[in-house]
Amino acid sequence: MTRFDPYFQSALDALSRQHLRRDLAPLAHHGPAIVRRDGTELLNFSSNDYLGLSRHPALRDRAIDWTRRFGTGSGASRLVTGTTDQHRLVEEKLARFKGTEAALLFASGWQANAAVLPSLFRLSREQAGAPALVFTDRLNHASMHHGCQAAGVRQIRFAHNDLDHLDQLLAQRRGQAGLRFIVTESVFSMDGDRADIAGLRALADRHEAFLYLDEAHATGVLGPQGRGLSAQSGHIQSGSTPSGGADLAMGTFSKAMGSFGAYVAGSRALCDWLVSTCSGFIYTTALPPGLLGAIDAALDLVPTMDAARAHLSAISDRVRTGIAALGWDTGASTTQIVPVIVGPADRTLQLARTLTDHGILGSAIRPPTVPAGTARIRLALSAAHDDSMIDRLLRALAAGTGPA
């Protein structure tokens, strides 16, 4: 015990009174859709394993093969001795998957957003002689807000997915010094709704802004062959960005791609700039061979999984329809992420306990992860869920307290 522990305990007690304290709950995974916790088997509706690839034999076997051949660690950062042929191979395959000139691997999605954004904003001071003008969606992931804070920039926040508001904010600053950056997600992790990528691209072109798109929850699931929403209307090409594309697409391998790590994809000059200036890339040990093998296998497999994506879309629609019939609000969700918006944190925790009692793992999401008054059960559907599992989920929700 240290002299500061009473302060910690007092603060923890305050969180408990507000129903905002978090606790770790160990469990064992038994396939992509079933877990066991405290001796009880639960259907897992809280995982981001959207295509059920986390235990796919192709990913497992290549991870084992590359570990046997190349070892368990990379030994250093990429700029020291950490770059191997396997890193280059995976980045080249990733760039082809995203339709870009180049791609760069990162350790995690949080790390990528938190480190890449300051590197980009530095460009404004050095090349435009003024701080960057950064326009961000109010519901962006915490890692993106952290990246802006780390860069010391003031976020110019637009109402969630409101492109008219964004247009107004951009127009108000026409003529102001500084490079412009629009920073948003393609699929929002707590709401399951989508950004208008073509509309964002049009605004970026009109106002000469750089479009930064977080594709963590779209990669593998949405767009042609699961290549993300930025791939729907075109790809990043040398010298221009066609309608529908992003200047930088960030994504992760820890969700639909079934393993761990992250990437950014864009022009060669962009990736070269990050290699020289992005602290999260420069000072982090390179991804290990086994993880690279799993990523490599996923990049081979995901483009072939249109049937799994169609099934995922169908069950997501069915869940939204079923939840609406029970009187719950699912917001603007149109994807595999379906929130059951309850409101108060205590009632949300009660619903989570009811789901557990009925054999369903549905995690309660509370402030500050979501805005005050919008606590929810965040359902994350997977292609591994079958119709009987969806039946059980809807029966469990029906057993809940229902909206007040």
Active site residues: 48, 141, 185, 189, 214, 217, 255
Q: Which residues pair with 184 in a beta bridge?
A: 213
The dihedral sign for the CA sequence 262, 309, 138, 158: positive
Residue 150: closest CA among 182, 118, 112, 120: 118
Report the 3 state secondary structure along 242-289.
CCCCCCEEEEECCCCCCCCCEEEEECHHHHHHHHHHCHHHHCCECCCH
- Which tokens is 196 given? 């208008």
Question: CA 87 to CA 77: how far, in whole Å?
Answer: 12
* Amino acid at site 305: M
